A and B are shown apart, each in its own frame.
Chain A
Amino acid sequence: MTGYLIRRIIGMVTVLFALTVIIYAVFYIAPGDPAQLACGLKCSPVQVRQLRGQLGINEPVYLQYAHFLKGVFAGRDFSSGAGVLHCDAPCLGISYRTNEQVTSMILNRLPVTASLALGAMVIWLLLGVGSGLLSVLRRGRFTERVLTSLTLAGTAIPVFIIGLLLLLLFCAYLQWLPFPSYVALSEDPQQWFWGLLLPWVSLALIESAKYARLTRSSMLETLAEDHIRTFRAYGVSERRLVTRHALRGALSPVIALSALDLGTMFGSAVLTESLFGLPGLGKLMVYSVNVLDLPVVVGLVMVTGFCVVVANAIADVLYAVADRRVVLT
C-alpha cells in the first residue's frame, strides 16, 4: 500500500509538471499579445512595451517558466511599477489583468466549484444508481420502460436547457426557490444548500441518466453470471439476488466513472456556473483564456489536473476495496 501511494504521488507530480510545460508552450505559440490586451486599444506602443517588461513577458519563454517554477517552490517578487509585490510559495504568479495573486484567486473560487461538483455527485449517484436498480427490479414491466425513456431523454438534453427550464419553473413561475447564488457553507449552511439546489439538480439529472444506464447494464450482466444461478438454486429470492449480489458487481464501473466525472467537473462545469451565475473555476478559466491571462490559466490547469489525478487515485483504492481480487500495484 505504501509503495502504491509513493508510485502514485510520483506519477501525479510528473503529470502536473508535464501539464505546465504544455500550457507554457501553447501560450508561446498562440497568437495575441497579453500586454496589448491588458492595456487596451488606447495604449501607445511605449506603454505596451513598458507593460510587457512589468509582466515579464519580454524574457525568453524558458526563463519565464523557470521563474514560474521558482515561484511555486520558493515564492517570488513582482515589480508592479510603483512597488514590489511579494508572493509566497506556492506562488502560481499574479494575474496579468488584475494583479491579484493567482493562488488566492483560485482558493476563493475553489469552494464554489467543489460545493457544486460534490453536491451534484451525491445526487447523481443516488438518482442514477437508484433508478438503475429500480429498472432491474422491475425489468420487463412498465416502470422499466418509463425509466429507460427518461434516461434516454436525460442523456440527450444539454444542461443549459434543463437548467433554464428548472430556473423558470421553480424560481420565476412557482417562486418556490430563491434564484441560485453562492453563500459559503461556513457562513450560512441553509442558504448554501438552497442556493445550490437547482444547479445540483440540473447537473445531476444529466449525469444520473448515464449512471442509470451503466448500473442497469452491469447489473444485468452480473445477473447472467453463474454465481447468481447458484443462489437462485438455493432459494434466495429474486429481490435479494438483485440488491445483494448483482448490485455489488455493478459498483466497480460506477466508482471508476464517478472519479473521472468528478475530476473533470472541477474544470468543466462552465455551463452550469455561467447559467446560475456561480463564481466558480470554470467561469474564471473561460475568462482568463479569452484575455490570455497566462498565470491564471496555468494555475487553473494545475488545480484541475490535480483534482482529476487525486480523484482517480481515490477511485483505484475504492475499486480494490469493492473487489478484493484487485491488487494495487
Chain B
Amino acid sequence: MSEHLVEVRGLTVEFPVADSYVRAVDGLDFTLEAGKALGIVGESGSGKSTVAFGLLGLHRGTGARLTGSVRVADVDVVGADDGELRRVRGELAAMVFQDPLSALDPYHPVGDQIAEVYRVHRKVTRRAARARAVEVLDRVGIPDAARRARSRPHEFSGGMRQRVLIAMALACEPRLLIADEPTTALDVTVQAQILDLLHDLRAETGAGLLLVTHDLGVVAGSVDHVLVMKDGRAVERGTVAEVLGTPREPYTRALLAAVPRVDAPVHPVDKRGPVAAVAAGTGGAAATSDGGDAAEAPAAPVSGGASAAVGPVGADGDVLLEADGLRREFGRRGATVTAVDGVSLTVREGETLGVVGESGSGKTTLGRMLVRLLDPTGGQLRYRGQDIGALGEKALRPLRHELQMVFQDPVSSLNPRRSIGESIADPLRAAGERDERRIRARVGELLERVGLDPDWYHRYPHEFSGGQRQRVGIARALAPEPKLIVCDEPVSALDVTTQAQVVELLGELQRDLGLSLVFIAHDLAVVRQVSDRVAVMRAGQVVEHGRVDEVYDSPQHSYTKGLLAAVPVLDPTESAARRAARAGAR
C-alpha cells in the first residue's frame, strides 16, 4: 500500500472533436495524502473537472483518450476492469456533484436514491439501506430526515439538495470525497453552511477531499494545498497560504486580482477611479459622453451636460426612475405569493444602483418590473416623473427603447438559430428602422463598442464564449439607445477574469453614454465594485439601502451583517477564524 490516497502521474486526457483530438488535461501530476484536502482551481476550460472525472474513470465510454496513471486508494483506475472500477465509484471515492437540481433523479424519492447507491456496494436489505439513507440525511442536517427521505428532489431548496448530494457521498464511508463546484449554484450564506459541513465531515470521518472550483474564495478556508490549472496544465501549486498569499506565477496573480473583494475595492472599476477622483475635488463634476476621447482621457471631464452627470454617489443626478411601494404577486386567489412587497427606491441619471439579495428575495421580479417586462400589481413606478406603472402597452411603446435589460444567462437569452447580428438588429427593426445598410452599420458599430469584431454579424451564439455572448447581450440592450439598463446577474455565469472584463465594459459604457444602471446580483463583492448605491433585498422587501461604502462598511440590518459575514475571504487564517465564529454562533 502506497502512502498516497490519490496519485496521478503524467495524466493526459484528450477528447475527440470532429476528426482530431482536443487535449483537456496535459501531463498532470499530483498526489493527495489520506485525510488531507487539495483544491484544484481554474477557469472554465482549464481541465479541472476532467481531472475529477478521471479519478472515477468516468471518461470511459465517452471516446476520450487517457494516458498516464491514476491511482485512487491503491486501485489503478486506468487499468481496472469494470467491476473493480465500480467498487472505486462510491465505495472508495465518492463524488459530490454540482448543480443539485439536475444531479438527482427527479422521479425517485431522495432516500431511495441514496439507498440504491448503498445497495450497489453493500449486501444489505432494502430496509437497512433506507435506514442508512435516513442516517446520512440526518447527519448532513436535513431536518426531519425520516420523513424528508421520501420527498423528491424538486421539493427541496438548492442548499438542501446539495446536502442530499453530500449525504449520498457519505453513504458508503468513502476514503476520498471529490467535490466538483459544490457551492457554485448557491447563495453566500448557504455556501458557507455547505463548506462548513464538508469541513466538519472531513474532520469527523478522516476522508480526503479533492475540491474542484473556479472560486478562490471557496478554497481558502477549505483545503490544505492548492493546484492552479490553466489549459490542462498545473500552473502553480503549494499550500493554500503560499498560493493565495504569495503567488509566484503571473497567472495566479491575475486570477487573484480579478476576484472582486467585498472588504474594499482593491481595483475599482474604471468609471469610479477618475470620476471619483474628480468628484472628490469638485464635489460632483460631470463627465461627458463625446465618444472615444472620454474613454482614453477620462481624467479631463467637461462640465455641464446634466444628462451625463456621474456623481460620486449619484446623489446629484436627476431622478430618472422612481419606484414607490412597488408590489408584485404571483398566482391566483387563495394561493398567491408576494415576490416584491412594497419596494421604494430611486435611480438617478448616470448612477449605478446595486440590488443584492439571495435567491427568492424578489430581485429579478423587481428588475423586470422596473423595465415593465412584468406589470406591477401595486405601487407606483415613475419614469421622469411620469407614472408608467399602469401605462398600457400602446402608451408605453415610445418609452420602451429607453428601458433595456441584460439577462443573466447569455446562452439562453440569445436565440441559437439566429445570427448575433440579427439579434442585435431586432430592437432597431422594432423601432421602425427599415434601411438594411444603416442597420448593418449600426450593428457593426455596437459590436465594436462592446469589444467584438464588427464583421461578426453572421456568426451564431454557439461560436462564442460566455463572456463574448454577454457582450452580445449588452450590445443588444444598447441598440435602441436606452437611458436605463437593468442588468440581471450579468456576470454570475462567468469566470472571474471574464467577469472583471464585463464589469469594466459596463462601467466604461456608463461613463461614455451617461447610462443609468441597475445591477442585480447575489454576489456582494461584484455589487460593491460597480455600484454607487446599493439596496439589500430580503423576502420581497428592501431591508437596507444607502451609499455603497456605508452599507458595506457599517451595515445596520442584521440580515446585511449576516450576508457580509458569509462571503468567503481569500485569507486562509481569516477564513478559519470566521468559520470558528460561525460554529460558535450555531
Interface residues in chain A, defined as those with a beta carbon under 8 Å from any beta carbon in chain B: 225-227, 229-237, 244-245, 248-249, 322-325
Q: What are 7 A-to-B residue pairs whose CB atoms are below 8 Å? A: A226-B99, A226-B103, A230-B104, A233-B94, A234-B117, A245-B107, A248-B108
CB <8 Å contact, B95 and A325: no
Q: Which of B72-105 contact A (CB under 8 A)?
A: 85-91, 94-95, 97, 99, 102-105
Q: How far is the CB of A29 from chain B (nearest CB, A)?
A: 39
B107 to chain A: closest CB distance in Å?
4
**Structural contact, A233 and B95, CB atoms closer than 8 A:** yes
Known contacts A226-B102, A231-B117, A249-B107; is-contact A324 B90 (Cβ 8 Å): no
Given A226-B99, A234-B120, A237-B86, the answer on whether A248 and B94 have CB atoms closer than 8 Å is no
B335 nearest in chain A by CB position: A329
Q: Give the residues in chain B near A227, CB-CB below 8 Å.
A: 102-106
Indicate if the CB atoms of B99 and A235 lie closer than 8 Å. no
Q: Restricting to B319-370, which residues have a CB under 8 Å from any CB of A?
A: none
Q: Which residues of A contact B168 (CB under 8 A)?
A: 230, 234
Asked if B58 contacts A236 (CB within 8 A), the reply is: no
B152 within 8 A of A: yes
Tell me the minimal C-beta distance from B121 to chain A in angstroms. Answer: 7
Task: Name the residue of chain A whose CB is nearest to the CB of B168.
Answer: A234
B56 within 8 Å of A (CB atoms): yes
B116 close to A (CB within 8 Å): yes
In Å, the complex CA distance between A244 and B108 comes to: 10
A324 to B109, CA, bound (A): 10
Q: Tell me if B116 and A231 are in contact (CB < 8 A).
A: yes
| Interface pair B58/A229, CB less than 8 Å apart | yes
Contacts A226-B102, A235-B117, A235-B120 aside, 8 further interface pairs with beta carbons under 8 A come to: A230-B105, A233-B53, A233-B95, A236-B116, A236-B117, A245-B107, A325-B106, A325-B152
In angstroms, Cα B121 to Cα A261, docked, is 43
B165: A residues at CB distance < 8 A: 230
Q: By the criterion CB–CB under 8 Å, are B120 and A324 in contact?
A: no
Residue of A with least CB distance to B106:
A325
Q: Is the CB of B58 within 8 A of A235?
A: no
CB-defined contacts of B104 to chain A, threshold 8 Å? 227, 230
- Say whether A236 contacts B120, CB under 8 Å: yes
Collect the chain A residues with CB atoms within 8 Å of residue B102's CB.
Answer: 225-227
Q: Are A324 and B154 in contact (CB under 8 A)?
A: yes
* Nearest CB of chain B from residue A285's CB, rounded to whole Å: 40
Query: Provided the pairs A226-B103, A227-B103, A323-B107 are in contact, do residues A234 and B58 lie with their beta carbons within 8 angstroms?
Result: no
Interface pair B56/A233, CB less than 8 Å apart: yes
A234/B97 in contact, CB under 8 A: no
Residues of B within 8 Å of A322, CB to CB, are 107
CA distance A234 to B154 in the complex (A): 21
For residue B61, which residue of chain A has the nearest CB? A238
Chain A contacts for B121, CB-based, 8 A: 235
Does the CB pair A235–B106 fall under 8 Å?
Answer: no
Shortest Cβ distance from residue B147 to the other chain A in the assembled complex, whole angstroms: 16
Q: Which secondary structure dominates chain B's binding surface?
A: helix
In the assembled complex, how far is the CB of residue B80 from the closest CB belonging to chain A, in whole angstroms? 12
Please report the C-alpha to C-alpha distance between residue A28 and residue B49 in the assembled complex, in whole angstroms.
70
Residues of A contacting B97 in the complex (Cβ-Cβ under 8 angstroms): 226, 229-230, 233
A236 neighbours in B (Cβ, 8 Å): 116-117, 120
Cα A322 to Cα B97 in complex, Å, equals 25
Beyond A226-B99, A234-B94, A237-B86, whether A323 also contacts B116 by CB under 8 A is: no
CB of A234 within 8 A of CB of B89, answer: yes
Q: How far apart are the CA atoms of A231 and B56 in the complex, in Å?
A: 12
CA distance A230 to B180 in the complex (A): 12
Name the residue of chain B whose CB is nearest to the CB of A322.
B107
Residue with the highest number of chain A CB atoms closer than 10 Å, among B90, B95, B107, B165: B107
Asked whether, in the complex, the Cβ of A235 is within 8 Å of the Cβ of B105, the reply is no
Q: How far is the CB of A224 from chain B (nearest CB, A)?
A: 11
Give the shortest distance, in Å, between B411 (CB) and chain A (any CB): 16
Q: Which of A231, A232, A235, A248 contacts B107 (CB 8 A)?
A: A248
Chain B residue at smallest Cβ distance from A248: B107
**Distance of B334 from chain A, by nearest CB (Å):** 10
Interface string of B122-144 (1 = CB under 8 A from A): 00000000000000000000000
Question: Which residues from chain B contact A231 at a C-beta distance below 8 Å?
Answer: 105, 113, 116-117
- Say whether A235 contacts B103, CB under 8 Å: no
Chain A nearest Cβ from B122, distance in angstroms: 11
Instruction: Determine the residue in chain A with the shortest Cβ distance to B154.
Output: A325
For the complex, what is the distance from the CA of A229 to the CA of B52, rounded to whole Å?
A: 13
Q: Is there an interface contact between A235 and B152, defined as CB atoms closer than 8 Å?
A: no
Given known contacts A235-B90, A237-B86, A325-B152, A230 and B58 CB-to-CB distance under 8 angstroms: no
- Per the bound structure, the CA–CA distance linking A305 and B458 in Å amounts to 49
Q: Which of B90, B108, B113 contacts A233 (CB 8 A)?
A: B90
User: CA A234 – CA B104 in complex, angstroms?
Assistant: 12
Q: Indicate whether A245 sits within 8 Å of B105 (C-beta atoms), given known contacts A234-B117, A234-B120.
A: yes
Considering residues A225, A233, A249, which has the most beta carbons from chain B within 10 angstroms of its beta carbon?
A233
Residues of A within 8 A of B87 (CB): 235
Measured in the bound complex, the distance between the Cα atoms of B105 and A226 in whole Å is 9
Q: How far is the CA of A229 from the CA of B94 in the complex (A)?
A: 13
Give, as a whole number of angstroms, the nearest-CB distance from A231 to chain B: 7
User: In the complex, which residues of chain B have a beta carbon less than 8 angstroms from the beta carbon of A249?
Assistant: 107
CB distance from A104 to the nearest CB of B (A): 45
Residues of B within 8 A of A248 (CB): 105, 107-108
Separation of A235 and B91 alpha carbons in the complex (Å)? 8
Residues on the B chain within 8 Å of A237, using CB: 86, 120
Complex-state Cα separation, A244 to B113, whole angstroms: 11
**B95 proximity list for chain A (CB < 8 A):** 230, 233-234
Taking the closest CB of chain B, its distance from the CB of A221, in whole angstroms, is 13
Task: Please give me the residue from chain A that is nearest to B332 by CB atom.
Answer: A329
1/0 per residue B298-320: CB within 8 Å of A?
A: 00000000000000000000000
Contacts of B154 in A (CB 8 A): 324-325
CA of A245 to CA of B56 in the docked complex: distance in angstroms?
A: 20
